[in-house]
């Protein structure tokens, strides 16, 4: 993936909306991928990503440019995903009282069979394991960056990733034998 020119972040921080648009264009697809795989819902993921970028925009004036931008962005996004999961649990407990409520309901996993299979595998992981696995293996983050994102120690994160791999391996073997 192409590296984002640090000047873009500098200009976005100074309030340049074009630079912010460049930043969104650069990271949007990765953020959507991470949010979809965390939330297993395209609708919730879009909302979480939108919220995350708005918060990034609001917080950019306070961003320390001596730090790396990407872990900072993913920390905000991971927080939005956690909030979305909590909200989803609350919404799922609501009584449906109007025709509009389904707009806020969890959508199906999608028609794409490959998506369903992958998301089904990810669904077998707990949220913490899933986050650690995705950040490390799919997003290619170092454990130090992950520690900055999650606030969890490196050893604990390594253990989460290992256990996630164990669970996924077992699920895939099980599916293969079946």
Partner 1 sequence: MPDDRDLDSTDDVIGGLVKRLQTLPASDLRARAAILARVRGRRQSPWRAALAEAWQPSVPLLAAATIAVAALGVGYAGRVLVEPAPTLVDGADASPVTTPVVPVSNDGTIRVSQQFVLDARTANRVLLVGDFNGWDRTQAQPLQRLEGGVWAATVPLRPGRYTYAFLVDDSLTITLDPRASTVRDEFGRESSVILVTDR
Q: By CB under 8 A, name the binding residues for partner 1.
A: 15, 17, 20-21, 24-25, 28-30, 32-33, 36-37, 46-47, 49-51, 53-55, 57-58, 61, 79, 83, 87, 91, 97-101, 103-104, 114, 118, 121-122, 134, 137-138, 158-159, 161-162, 165, 168-169, 172-173
CB of 43 to partner 1, least distance (A): 8
CB of 172 to partner 1, least distance (A): 6
CB of 62 to partner 1, least distance (A): 12
The Cα–Cα gap between 131 and 164 comes to 10
Q: Which is nearer to partner 1, 71 or 157 (CB)?
A: 157
Cα angle 161, 46, 49; round to 5: 65
Q: Which residue in the block uniquely carries the two structure tokens 């791999």?
A: 165
For the chain, the 3-state helix, strand and coil shares in percent, each to the nearest 5, are: 75, 0, 25
Q: Which residue in the block uniquely carries the two structure tokens 């794409």?
A: 112
């Amino acid at each position: 993936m192409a590296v984002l020119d640090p000047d873009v972040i500098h200009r976005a921080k100074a309030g340049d909306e074009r630079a912010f648009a460049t930043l969104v264009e650069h990271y949007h697809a990765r953020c959507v991928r991470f949010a979809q795989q965390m939330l297993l819902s395209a609708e919730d993921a879009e909302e979480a990503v939108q919220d995350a970028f708005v918060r990034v925009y609001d917080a950019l004036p306070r961003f320390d440019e001596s730090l790396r931008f990407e872990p900072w962005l993913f920390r905000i996004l991971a927080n939005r995903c956690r909030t979305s999961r909590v909200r989803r649990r609350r919404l799922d407990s609501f009584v449906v009282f109007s025709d509009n409520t389904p707009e806020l309901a969890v959508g199906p996993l999608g028609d794409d069979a490959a998506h369903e299979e992958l998301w089904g595998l990810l669904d077998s992981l707990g949220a913490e394991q899933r986050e650690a696995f995705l950040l490390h293996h799919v997003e290619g983050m170092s454990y130090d960056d992950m520690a900055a994102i999650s606030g969890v120690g490196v050893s604990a994160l390594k253990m989460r990733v290992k256990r996630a791999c164990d669970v996924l391996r077992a699920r895939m073997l099980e599916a293969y034998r079946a």
